[in-house]
Amino acid sequence: MNIFFPKEPEFETRVSLTLESAKKFLDKGLNISIEKSFAEHLGSSDKEFEDLGVKTLDRDQGFASAEIVCSVRNLTEDELDKINQNTLLVSFLDPFNEKPLVESIAAQGATAISMEMVPRSTRAQKMDALSSQANLAGYVTVIQASFHLPKIMPMMMTPSGTIAPARVFVIGAGVAGLQAIATAKRLGARVEAFDTRPVVAEQVQSLGAKFVEIDLGDTGQTDQGYAKELTPEQVEMQREGQKAIISQSDVVITTAQLFGRPAPQIVGRDMVESMKPGSVIIDMAVETGGNVEGSVMNEVVDINGVKVVGQGNLPGEVARNASDMYSNNLLNLVMEFWDSEAKTLNLDPEDEIIEACVITRDGAVVNETIKNIYSGG
Protein backbone atom coordinates (compact mmCIF):
# COMPACT_ATOMS: atom_id res chain seq x y z
CA MET A 1 0.00 0.00 0.00
CA ASN A 2 1.32 3.42 -1.00
CA ILE A 3 1.10 6.36 1.42
CA PHE A 4 2.01 9.86 0.26
CA PHE A 5 2.89 12.73 2.60
CA PRO A 6 2.67 16.08 0.78
CA LYS A 7 4.24 19.37 1.86
CA GLU A 8 1.99 21.66 3.85
CA PRO A 9 0.91 25.19 2.87
CA GLU A 10 3.49 27.89 3.63
CA PHE A 11 1.64 29.04 6.76
CA GLU A 12 1.80 25.54 8.31
CA THR A 13 5.11 24.70 9.98
CA ARG A 14 4.15 21.20 11.13
CA VAL A 15 4.60 18.10 8.98
CA SER A 16 2.76 14.79 8.93
CA LEU A 17 5.77 12.44 8.88
CA THR A 18 9.00 12.30 10.86
CA LEU A 19 12.04 10.12 10.26
CA GLU A 20 11.22 7.96 13.27
CA SER A 21 7.64 7.33 12.14
CA ALA A 22 8.75 6.74 8.54
CA LYS A 23 10.98 3.88 9.71
CA LYS A 24 8.08 2.30 11.60
CA PHE A 25 5.78 2.55 8.58
CA LEU A 26 8.42 0.91 6.39
CA ASP A 27 9.05 -1.84 8.95
CA LYS A 28 5.36 -2.78 8.64
CA GLY A 29 5.70 -3.23 4.89
CA LEU A 30 4.07 -0.02 3.67
CA ASN A 31 5.45 2.00 0.77
CA ILE A 32 6.11 5.58 1.84
CA SER A 33 6.72 8.64 -0.31
CA ILE A 34 7.11 12.33 0.50
CA GLU A 35 6.99 15.48 -1.57
CA LYS A 36 10.38 17.02 -2.36
CA SER A 37 11.74 19.34 0.37
CA PHE A 38 9.12 17.89 2.68
CA ALA A 39 10.62 18.69 6.09
CA GLU A 40 13.83 20.58 5.43
CA HIS A 41 12.60 23.56 7.48
CA LEU A 42 12.60 21.24 10.52
CA GLY A 43 16.10 19.95 9.82
CA SER A 44 15.16 16.67 8.11
CA SER A 45 16.56 16.43 4.60
CA ASP A 46 15.11 14.45 1.70
CA LYS A 47 18.29 12.35 1.71
CA GLU A 48 17.70 11.25 5.30
CA PHE A 49 14.26 10.02 4.32
CA GLU A 50 15.61 8.38 1.16
CA ASP A 51 18.30 6.57 3.17
CA LEU A 52 15.49 4.90 5.12
CA GLY A 53 13.77 3.77 1.92
CA VAL A 54 11.27 6.60 1.51
CA LYS A 55 10.66 7.77 -2.07
CA THR A 56 10.77 11.46 -2.97
CA LEU A 57 8.20 12.56 -5.54
CA ASP A 58 6.76 15.66 -7.15
CA ARG A 59 3.41 16.65 -5.67
CA ASP A 60 1.33 15.52 -8.66
CA GLN A 61 3.25 12.21 -8.88
CA GLY A 62 2.59 11.58 -5.22
CA PHE A 63 -1.14 12.18 -5.54
CA ALA A 64 -1.36 9.98 -8.64
CA SER A 65 0.38 7.02 -7.01
CA ALA A 66 -1.13 7.24 -3.53
CA GLU A 67 -3.72 4.98 -1.99
CA ILE A 68 -3.51 7.03 1.23
CA VAL A 69 -2.63 10.72 1.53
CA CYS A 70 -1.69 11.90 5.03
CA SER A 71 -1.31 15.59 5.83
CA VAL A 72 -1.81 18.15 8.57
CA ARG A 73 -3.99 20.50 6.52
CA ASN A 74 -6.57 19.26 4.03
CA LEU A 75 -6.12 19.33 0.27
CA THR A 76 -7.61 22.09 -1.85
CA GLU A 77 -10.56 21.42 -4.12
CA ASP A 78 -8.29 21.82 -7.18
CA GLU A 79 -6.05 19.03 -5.89
CA LEU A 80 -8.91 16.56 -5.56
CA ASP A 81 -8.83 16.07 -9.32
CA LYS A 82 -5.28 14.74 -8.99
CA ILE A 83 -6.06 11.88 -6.61
CA ASN A 84 -7.44 8.50 -7.54
CA GLN A 85 -10.98 7.43 -6.80
CA ASN A 86 -11.14 5.53 -3.50
CA THR A 87 -8.04 7.29 -2.16
CA LEU A 88 -8.05 7.64 1.62
CA LEU A 89 -7.41 11.21 2.79
CA VAL A 90 -6.30 11.71 6.40
CA SER A 91 -5.94 15.23 7.83
CA PHE A 92 -7.39 17.86 10.12
CA LEU A 93 -10.33 18.17 7.76
CA ASP A 94 -12.37 20.69 9.79
CA PRO A 95 -15.66 19.22 8.48
CA PHE A 96 -17.80 21.63 10.51
CA ASN A 97 -16.51 24.58 8.48
CA GLU A 98 -15.50 22.96 5.18
CA LYS A 99 -18.81 21.75 3.80
CA PRO A 100 -18.04 22.47 0.08
CA LEU A 101 -14.69 20.68 0.32
CA VAL A 102 -16.17 17.69 2.16
CA GLU A 103 -18.93 17.35 -0.42
CA SER A 104 -16.34 17.57 -3.21
CA ILE A 105 -14.32 14.79 -1.57
CA ALA A 106 -17.46 12.65 -1.43
CA ALA A 107 -18.23 13.39 -5.08
CA GLN A 108 -14.69 12.35 -5.99
CA GLY A 109 -15.33 8.96 -4.38
CA ALA A 110 -12.56 9.40 -1.81
CA THR A 111 -12.73 8.32 1.81
CA ALA A 112 -11.86 11.08 4.28
CA ILE A 113 -10.78 10.68 7.88
CA SER A 114 -10.93 13.79 10.03
CA MET A 115 -8.31 13.62 12.77
CA GLU A 116 -10.19 16.04 15.01
CA MET A 117 -13.11 13.58 15.04
CA VAL A 118 -11.15 10.71 16.59
CA PRO A 119 -13.14 9.92 19.75
CA ARG A 120 -11.79 10.46 23.23
CA SER A 121 -11.64 6.89 24.46
CA THR A 122 -9.05 4.66 26.06
CA ARG A 123 -8.51 2.71 22.84
CA ALA A 124 -8.29 5.81 20.65
CA GLN A 125 -6.11 8.01 22.85
CA LYS A 126 -2.90 7.00 21.05
CA MET A 127 -4.33 8.45 17.82
CA ASP A 128 -6.07 11.46 19.40
CA ALA A 129 -4.33 14.26 17.50
CA LEU A 130 -6.64 16.96 18.80
CA SER A 131 -5.49 16.29 22.36
CA SER A 132 -1.82 15.88 21.48
CA GLN A 133 -1.78 19.24 19.72
CA ALA A 134 -3.85 20.94 22.44
CA ASN A 135 -1.29 19.82 25.01
CA LEU A 136 1.45 21.68 23.18
CA ALA A 137 -0.79 24.68 22.57
CA GLY A 138 -1.36 25.01 26.31
CA TYR A 139 2.39 25.11 26.89
CA VAL A 140 2.89 27.72 24.17
CA THR A 141 0.27 30.07 25.65
CA VAL A 142 2.31 30.44 28.83
CA ILE A 143 5.59 30.93 26.97
CA GLN A 144 3.95 33.65 24.88
CA ALA A 145 2.51 35.31 27.98
CA SER A 146 5.92 35.27 29.63
CA PHE A 147 7.45 36.87 26.54
CA HIS A 148 4.95 39.73 26.45
CA LEU A 149 4.72 40.28 30.22
CA PRO A 150 7.04 43.05 31.53
CA LYS A 151 7.75 41.10 34.72
CA ILE A 152 8.98 37.66 35.73
CA MET A 153 6.72 34.73 36.58
CA PRO A 154 8.26 33.42 39.85
CA MET A 155 8.66 35.03 43.24
CA MET A 156 12.25 36.11 43.69
CA MET A 157 13.91 37.10 46.96
CA THR A 158 17.04 39.19 46.51
CA PRO A 159 19.13 41.62 48.59
CA SER A 160 17.39 44.34 46.59
CA GLY A 161 13.97 43.21 47.69
CA THR A 162 11.31 40.57 47.08
CA ILE A 163 9.49 40.27 43.76
CA ALA A 164 5.97 38.88 44.02
CA PRO A 165 5.02 36.06 41.64
CA ALA A 166 2.91 36.83 38.59
CA ARG A 167 -0.78 36.06 38.96
CA VAL A 168 -2.08 33.83 36.16
CA PHE A 169 -5.75 33.03 35.60
CA VAL A 170 -6.56 30.16 33.21
CA ILE A 171 -10.14 29.91 31.95
CA GLY A 172 -10.93 26.40 30.77
CA ALA A 173 -9.27 23.30 32.24
CA GLY A 174 -9.35 20.88 29.33
CA VAL A 175 -6.19 19.38 27.85
CA ALA A 176 -4.76 22.77 26.83
CA GLY A 177 -5.84 24.52 30.01
CA LEU A 178 -4.32 21.90 32.30
CA GLN A 179 -1.03 22.10 30.44
CA ALA A 180 -1.11 25.90 30.70
CA ILE A 181 -1.69 25.58 34.44
CA ALA A 182 1.18 23.09 34.82
CA THR A 183 3.56 25.22 32.76
CA ALA A 184 2.72 28.44 34.63
CA LYS A 185 3.25 26.64 37.95
CA ARG A 186 6.62 25.31 36.77
CA LEU A 187 7.62 28.88 35.99
CA GLY A 188 6.69 29.87 39.53
CA ALA A 189 3.49 31.82 38.95
CA ARG A 190 0.53 31.98 41.30
CA VAL A 191 -2.16 30.21 39.30
CA GLU A 192 -5.94 30.21 39.52
CA ALA A 193 -8.26 28.43 37.11
CA PHE A 194 -11.93 28.07 36.29
CA ASP A 195 -13.91 25.56 34.28
CA THR A 196 -17.63 25.12 33.80
CA ARG A 197 -17.19 21.44 34.67
CA PRO A 198 -16.79 21.11 38.46
CA VAL A 199 -15.44 17.56 37.98
CA VAL A 200 -12.06 18.97 36.87
CA ALA A 201 -11.49 20.85 40.15
CA GLU A 202 -9.43 18.00 41.56
CA GLN A 203 -7.18 17.95 38.47
CA VAL A 204 -6.58 21.69 38.76
CA GLN A 205 -5.75 21.40 42.45
CA SER A 206 -3.43 18.45 41.84
CA LEU A 207 -1.27 20.78 39.73
CA GLY A 208 -0.96 23.22 42.60
CA ALA A 209 -3.44 25.79 41.31
CA LYS A 210 -6.53 27.20 43.00
CA PHE A 211 -9.85 26.21 41.44
CA VAL A 212 -12.20 29.19 41.29
CA GLU A 213 -15.77 28.23 42.09
CA ILE A 214 -18.54 30.09 40.26
CA ASP A 215 -22.02 28.64 40.74
CA LEU A 216 -23.55 28.35 37.26
CA GLY A 217 -26.17 25.77 38.12
CA ASP A 218 -26.35 22.63 36.00
CA THR A 219 -23.43 22.53 33.49
CA GLY A 220 -21.66 19.16 33.14
CA GLN A 221 -19.85 17.74 30.12
CA THR A 222 -20.52 15.67 27.02
CA ASP A 223 -19.84 11.94 26.68
CA GLN A 224 -16.55 12.88 24.99
CA GLY A 225 -15.53 15.01 27.98
CA TYR A 226 -16.12 18.39 26.35
CA ALA A 227 -17.81 21.27 28.15
CA LYS A 228 -21.48 21.67 27.32
CA GLU A 229 -22.64 24.96 25.83
CA LEU A 230 -23.85 27.37 28.48
CA THR A 231 -27.12 29.24 28.34
CA PRO A 232 -26.88 33.04 27.84
CA GLU A 233 -27.76 33.44 31.51
CA GLN A 234 -24.95 31.10 32.57
CA VAL A 235 -22.45 32.93 30.35
CA GLU A 236 -23.37 36.18 32.06
CA MET A 237 -23.02 34.54 35.49
CA GLN A 238 -19.56 33.32 34.53
CA ARG A 239 -18.54 36.76 33.27
CA GLU A 240 -19.68 38.40 36.51
CA GLY A 241 -18.03 35.74 38.67
CA GLN A 242 -14.60 36.10 37.06
CA LYS A 243 -14.46 39.90 36.82
CA ALA A 244 -12.64 40.50 40.10
CA ILE A 245 -10.06 37.77 39.41
CA ILE A 246 -9.34 39.08 35.92
CA SER A 247 -8.82 42.63 37.22
CA GLN A 248 -6.19 41.35 39.69
CA SER A 249 -4.38 39.06 37.22
CA ASP A 250 -1.15 39.77 35.37
CA VAL A 251 -1.95 37.10 32.79
CA VAL A 252 -5.28 35.68 31.62
CA ILE A 253 -5.26 32.63 29.35
CA THR A 254 -8.56 31.65 27.77
CA THR A 255 -8.94 28.13 26.37
CA ALA A 256 -12.74 27.77 26.30
CA GLN A 257 -13.86 26.08 23.09
CA LEU A 258 -16.99 24.19 22.08
CA PHE A 259 -16.36 21.21 19.83
CA GLY A 260 -17.66 21.96 16.34
CA ARG A 261 -19.11 25.36 17.31
CA PRO A 262 -17.89 28.95 17.65
CA ALA A 263 -16.04 29.72 20.87
CA PRO A 264 -18.01 31.59 23.55
CA GLN A 265 -17.03 35.19 24.25
CA ILE A 266 -16.41 35.16 27.99
CA VAL A 267 -14.07 38.12 28.51
CA GLY A 268 -15.65 41.47 27.64
CA ARG A 269 -13.82 44.68 26.85
CA ASP A 270 -14.75 46.05 30.27
CA MET A 271 -12.82 43.18 31.88
CA VAL A 272 -9.81 43.81 29.64
CA GLU A 273 -9.85 47.49 30.56
CA SER A 274 -10.03 46.60 34.28
CA MET A 275 -6.58 44.97 34.12
CA LYS A 276 -3.37 46.81 34.94
CA PRO A 277 -1.39 48.25 31.99
CA GLY A 278 1.30 45.74 31.03
CA SER A 279 -0.99 42.77 31.67
CA VAL A 280 -1.37 40.11 29.00
CA ILE A 281 -4.32 38.08 27.71
CA ILE A 282 -3.75 35.04 25.50
CA ASP A 283 -6.89 34.11 23.54
CA MET A 284 -6.28 30.52 22.56
CA ALA A 285 -9.73 30.27 20.96
CA VAL A 286 -9.15 33.08 18.46
CA GLU A 287 -9.26 30.65 15.50
CA THR A 288 -12.85 29.68 16.31
CA GLY A 289 -14.17 33.17 17.01
CA GLY A 290 -12.32 34.04 20.21
CA ASN A 291 -13.09 34.16 23.91
CA VAL A 292 -11.99 37.77 24.28
CA GLU A 293 -13.76 40.83 22.93
CA GLY A 294 -11.24 42.70 20.80
CA SER A 295 -8.86 39.82 20.02
CA VAL A 296 -7.76 39.57 16.39
CA MET A 297 -6.39 36.53 14.60
CA ASN A 298 -2.57 36.59 14.40
CA GLU A 299 -2.31 40.04 15.96
CA VAL A 300 -1.33 41.55 19.29
CA VAL A 301 -3.91 44.21 20.11
CA ASP A 302 -3.17 46.89 22.70
CA ILE A 303 -6.24 47.87 24.73
CA ASN A 304 -5.40 50.57 27.27
CA GLY A 305 -1.95 49.07 27.79
CA VAL A 306 -3.18 45.49 28.02
CA LYS A 307 -1.83 43.19 25.31
CA VAL A 308 -4.42 40.84 23.82
CA VAL A 309 -2.59 38.11 21.91
CA GLY A 310 -4.55 36.25 19.22
CA GLN A 311 -1.96 33.87 17.82
CA GLY A 312 -3.33 31.12 15.57
CA ASN A 313 -1.86 27.64 15.13
CA LEU A 314 -0.17 27.57 18.52
CA PRO A 315 1.21 24.01 18.11
CA GLY A 316 3.03 25.28 15.02
CA GLU A 317 5.18 27.42 17.31
CA VAL A 318 6.83 24.19 18.50
CA ALA A 319 6.59 22.50 15.13
CA ARG A 320 9.20 19.81 15.71
CA ASN A 321 7.48 18.37 18.76
CA ALA A 322 4.03 18.92 17.25
CA SER A 323 5.13 17.01 14.14
CA ASP A 324 6.51 14.17 16.27
CA MET A 325 3.20 13.80 18.07
CA TYR A 326 0.99 14.17 15.00
CA SER A 327 3.09 11.73 12.99
CA ASN A 328 2.78 9.20 15.82
CA ASN A 329 -0.99 9.76 15.91
CA LEU A 330 -1.18 8.98 12.18
CA LEU A 331 1.06 5.93 12.57
CA ASN A 332 -1.07 4.58 15.41
CA LEU A 333 -4.25 5.16 13.41
CA VAL A 334 -2.97 3.28 10.38
CA MET A 335 -1.48 0.45 12.45
CA GLU A 336 -4.72 0.01 14.40
CA PHE A 337 -6.54 -0.96 11.20
CA TRP A 338 -3.69 -2.43 9.14
CA ASP A 339 -4.18 -6.03 8.03
CA SER A 340 -0.59 -7.24 7.64
CA GLU A 341 -1.60 -10.41 5.78
CA ALA A 342 -3.91 -8.76 3.25
CA LYS A 343 -1.68 -5.64 3.10
CA THR A 344 -4.66 -3.34 3.36
CA LEU A 345 -6.57 -1.20 5.81
CA ASN A 346 -9.71 -2.69 7.31
CA LEU A 347 -11.91 0.35 7.95
CA ASP A 348 -14.88 -1.47 9.44
CA PRO A 349 -17.80 1.02 9.46
CA GLU A 350 -19.12 -0.67 12.62
CA ASP A 351 -15.92 0.09 14.53
CA GLU A 352 -16.51 2.91 17.02
CA ILE A 353 -13.39 4.83 15.99
CA ILE A 354 -14.09 4.52 12.26
CA GLU A 355 -17.73 5.43 12.78
CA ALA A 356 -16.64 8.62 14.57
CA CYS A 357 -13.83 9.86 12.33
CA VAL A 358 -14.68 8.75 8.78
CA ILE A 359 -16.53 11.64 7.15
CA THR A 360 -16.96 10.51 3.53
CA ARG A 361 -17.11 7.06 1.98
CA ASP A 362 -18.46 5.47 -1.21
CA GLY A 363 -19.44 8.79 -2.73
CA ALA A 364 -21.37 10.15 0.26
CA VAL A 365 -21.01 11.99 3.56
CA VAL A 366 -21.49 9.16 6.05
CA ASN A 367 -20.67 10.66 9.44
CA GLU A 368 -24.00 11.13 11.24
CA THR A 369 -22.95 14.24 13.17
CA ILE A 370 -21.73 16.00 10.03
CA LYS A 371 -24.72 14.83 7.96
CA ASN A 372 -27.08 16.34 10.51
CA ILE A 373 -25.23 19.65 10.50
CA TYR A 374 -25.17 19.82 6.70
CA SER A 375 -28.88 19.04 6.50
CA GLY A 376 -29.69 21.68 9.10
CA GLY A 377 -30.64 19.13 11.72
Out of 59, 226, 247, 274, pick the active-site residue: 226
Residue 226 annotated to the active site: yes
Given the residues 120, 221, 274, 320, the one annotated as active site: 120
> For this structure, is 131 an active site residue?
yes
Q: Decide if 302 is catalytic.
A: no
Calculate the alpha carbon distances from 149 to 100, 135, 172, 275, 325 in Å.
42, 22, 21, 13, 29
Which one is catalytic: 16, 114, 128, 195?
128
Catalytic residue check, 234: no
Listed as own residue / partner, the contacts of 366-371 with beta carbons closer than 8 Å and 24 or more positions apart are 367/95, 367/114, 367/117, 369/117, 369/260, 370/95, 370/96, 370/102
190 is catalytic: no
Q: Indicate which residue of 65, 121, 125, 248 is catalytic.
A: 125
Active-site hit among 21, 44, 131, 311:
131
SS3 of the chain = CEEEECCCCCCCCCCCCCHHHHHHHHHCCCEEEEECCCCHHHCCCHHHHHHHCCEEECHHHHHHHCCEEEEEECCCHHHHCCCCCCCEEEEECCCCCCHHHHHHHHHHCCEEEEHHHCCCCCCCHHHCHHHHHHHHHHHHHHHHHHHHCCCCCCCEEECCEEECCCEEEEECCCHHHHHHHHHHHHCCCEEEEECCCHHHHHHHHHCCCEECCCCCCCCCECCCCCECCCCHHHHHHHHHHHHHHHHHCCEEEECCCECCECCCCCECHHHHHHCCCCCEEEECCHHHCCCECCCCCCCEEEECCEEEECCCCHHHHHHHHHHHHHHHHHHHHHHHCEECCCCEECCCCCCHHHHHHEEEECCEECCHHHHHHHCCC
Q: Annotated catalytic sites, by residue?
A: 120, 125, 128, 131, 226
